[in-house]
Amino acid sequence: MDYKAHIREVPDFPKPGILFYDITPLLNNPACFRSIIDECIQHYRDAGITRVVGIESRGFILGSPLAYHLNAGFVPVRKPGKLPADVFEVNYNLEYGSTALAIHRDAIQKGERVLVVDDLLATGGTAAATVHLIRQLGGDIAGVAFLVELLGLDGRNKLNGCDIHSLITYK
């Protein structure tokens, strides 16, 4: 299936000079949505995944059905102040500044096989921060999956040693 045909390119969003890849038309197409979930399930079916970690917020859209089909628990990684129990937090730099992410301390047990899911791999800061949080909890990174990867930004370099699976790539 030609996923790129269902991605809307929006110039100058969220600021001038940025080309934004809007995945909402892809997600809105039932055949496309089913196909991307099925493709990820096929890739990770035999990986022994026990937890799927979705990165706020679009990682929730992709991660939840993956967790369901892989018979794994779903764990949200959120911005600080959004999770109600005891958390680990990590601060990290973005292309436009800095931010932080949080995960519940009891979300992942030592040695569990974890799949990290997000919509986009660009510079890799958000995914690397999430991997750091999971490793703090003792989780084993089984893979990091993205719907879209922007190859020119070299985000995979920040995910040393992680198996990365991207469904759509742009140069």
Catalytic residues: 58, 95
Tokens for 84, please give them. Answer: 């109600």
Q: Are 162 and 131 in contact (CB under 8 A)?
A: yes
Residue of 58, 65, 63, 55 lying closest to 128 (CA atoms): 55
Q: Are 64 and 40 in contact (CB under 8 A)?
A: no
Angle between helices 30-44 and 58-69 (to 10 degrees): 60
Cβ contacts of 131 within 8 Å, gap of 6 or more: 116, 141, 144, 159, 162
